[in-house]
Chains A and B, each alone.
Chain A
Amino acid sequence: MAQEVLTNTGESIAVPDGLAGVASDWSADKEAFGVPWGKAMMWIFLVSDTFIFASFLTGYMTVRMSTTVPWPNTSEVFALTIAGQHIPLVLIAIMTFVLITSSGTMAMAVNFGYRGDRKKTAMLMMATAVLGAMFVSMQAFEWTKLILEGVRPWGNPFGAAQFGSTFFMITGFHGLHVSVGVIYLSIVAFKVWRGDYARKGNYQIVEITGLYWHFVDLVWIFIFALFYLW
């Protein structure tokens, strides 16, 4: 199925799909990506962010593989006793579910944005921001608990000293991304609510904000698997 695109001179031309499409999109006299520039830029930013987080996680892998001291048992370090029940890793599990829920509400917000439903879009984006704030609060609680237990970037009572440095670095940088995302979402949600995008008839910005938010969730999935579960 060939798509039609407008050239700079306003003619409509058909562009091929598949590999031939890759060649023609890059070489033709038109935008390389058939998306608004804001979206292409957000994607390129996310690629660079991927490299940052991948470097952190690779660094974590390197120190964890090379230490001769046993690595702390994350299942126990992040366990909580709730109502007399000792549950391993429970806080992290709850944080994971909160973040996935927020990804769901964000996806719905994008959908309602393109339907032109101003109120539902703003409400869903605010819900996403609130869930994000919940996530950061739980992370603050987790940090406080670990610091009180004596975990420091240079050592901890549970095992290898590198545990503290990688933990604070990786979750700290991710938490910063979530916090920035909450602010970003709140600003865009406010502008949606005020009707800025309804007036322009363009809700593209909601999808771009969504890309950032889903990326934050994506990074968490990797941290959850590689740092907490491994």
Chain B
Amino acid sequence: MAHAEGQQHPIKIYLWIWLLLFVLSAFSYMVDYLHIQGYLRWTLILIFMFLKAGLIVSVFMHMAWERLALVYAILVPPLCLFVLVGLMATEADYTFLTRLAFFAK
């Protein structure tokens, strides 16, 4: 079955995802509200962030039902951003140490 007429799916799926997004957002907010700190805070924030992003892209933006060629063309290029983040984190770390050595009193 090809979706020549576009993406058509039962409304129930959207309502479920909608509810899930609300629950996950509430969880993210609770992380702050309950003053969870340190690595547990960062891990929870990232988990909830990626879960929400995944749900939106796969269901609301219909990526789960697209051809693999389109999925790869869209989702693979942004992966190189992780390289940028890695490089900049190293750079920032170096700047921080330099500032400590020369400016911090």
Using a CB-CB cutoff of 8 Å, which residues 32-64 of chain B contact chain A?
32-33, 41-42, 45-46, 48-49, 52-53, 56-57, 59-62
Q: Is the CB of B60 within 8 A of A214?
A: yes
Partner of B56, one of A32, A50, A108, A217: A217
What CA separation (Å) do A167 and B92 show in the bound complex? 19
Partner of A50, one of B7, B9, B78, B96: B78
Partner of A100, one of B9, B25, B67, B100: B25
Count, A-B residue pairs, CB within 8 A: 163
Report the nearest B residue to A96, measured CB to CB: B25
Partner of A62, one of B8, B22, B92, B104: B92
Interface segment, A17-25, A140-148, A150-158?
A17-25
What CA separation (Å) do A55 and B60 show in the bound complex? 25
Which size class do A's interface residues fall under? 35 or more
Tell me whether A224 is interfacial, beta carbon within 8 Å: yes
A-side interface mostly: helix
What CA separation (Å) do A5 and B4 show in the bound complex? 9
What CA separation (Å) do A50 and B67 show in the bound complex? 21
Task: Report A32-71 CB contacts with B as 1/0, cut-off 8 Å.
Answer: 1111000010011011001100110011011111111000
Residues of B contacting A108 with CB < 8 Å? 11, 14
Q: Is the CB of B45 within 8 A of A229?
A: yes
Partner of B6, one of A104, A114, A214: A114
Interface segment, A131-139, A171-179, A181-189, A203-211?
A203-211
Q: Is the CB of B69 within 8 A of A32?
A: yes
What CA separation (Å) do A107 and B59 show in the bound complex? 9
Residues of B contacting A229 with CB < 8 Å? 28, 31-32, 41, 45
B: which residues have CB within 8 A of A?
Answer: 1-2, 5-9, 11, 14-15, 17-18, 21-22, 25, 28-29, 31-33, 41-42, 45-46, 48-49, 52-53, 56-57, 59-62, 66-70, 72-74, 77-78, 81, 84-85, 88-89, 91-93, 95-96, 99-100, 103-104
Contacts A/B (CB < 8 Å), 28 sampled: A4-B2, A5-B2, A19-B68, A21-B67, A21-B68, A32-B69, A33-B67, A33-B73, A35-B67, A35-B70, A40-B70, A46-B74, A62-B91, A62-B95, A65-B93, A65-B95, A75-B32, A97-B25, A100-B21, A104-B15, A104-B21, A107-B59, A111-B11, A114-B7, A115-B8, A214-B56, A217-B56, A218-B53
A: which residues have CB within 8 A of B?
Answer: 1, 3-5, 17-19, 21-22, 25-26, 32-35, 40, 43-44, 46-47, 50-51, 54-55, 58-59, 61-68, 75, 88-89, 93, 96-97, 100, 103-104, 106-108, 110-111, 114-115, 203-204, 207, 210-211, 214-215, 217-218, 221-222, 224-226, 229-230
